[in-house]
Structures are given as structure tokens and as C-alpha cells.
Copies of this chain bind each other. A is one copy, B any other.
């Protein structure tokens, strides 16, 4: 196993710079806690929206669409419509005079 942090004169155990290892773990755990806090905040926003009668699934779909590149999205929609029309699945949308 590669000797880790070998050049440091810090306390070592089994060739491991313990302080450095502890600092890495502490930093990641702190960041993960912050991240979890924000994830919980997002859940709260959706719960509040649901409580106000909003359809959260549709809102998530819109958030996803807003991340997509407009022209890519339009091409994808056109291809999907063409395939669905070919398969007779299109009554859901106005058939475009096929």
C-alpha cells in the first residue's frame, strides 16, 4: 500500500498520517450534513406545494424540462410525436392531418 503522507512529521499509525485522514473525514461529513439539510429543504418546498394543491410530479417534469436545451427538446418532442403517430398512439395529441 502506498505510504500515505510519508513526508509529514505528523502523528502516524501504520504509515498513515492520522490527522490528515481525520480532517478528510470531518470535512466530508460536514459537507454531507449540509447537503442533507438542503435536500430536506427541497422536500419541504414540495410538501408545501402539495399541501397547496399543486401536482408535484408535473412541477418536477417542468424543472427537468427547464434544464434541457430548447432546440434539443423540440427535436426530441418531434421525433416522439412522429413515432407515436406511426404507432397510432397519438389520439392523445391532435393528429397532424396524417
Contact = CB atoms under 8 A, between A and B. Distances in A.
A13 B85 contact: yes
Nearest to A35: B38
A5 B54 CA distance: 8
A75 interface: yes
Copies of this chain in the oligomer: 4
B27 A63 contact: no
Contacts of A9: none
Contacts of A1: 55, 75, 78-79, 82
A62 B38 contact: no
Interface string A11-49: 011111010111011011101101100110110011011
The 10 closest A-B pairs by CB, nearest first: A13-B86, A16-B86, A14-B82, A35-B38, A58-B79, A4-B53, A55-B79, A58-B80, A18-B86, A31-B42
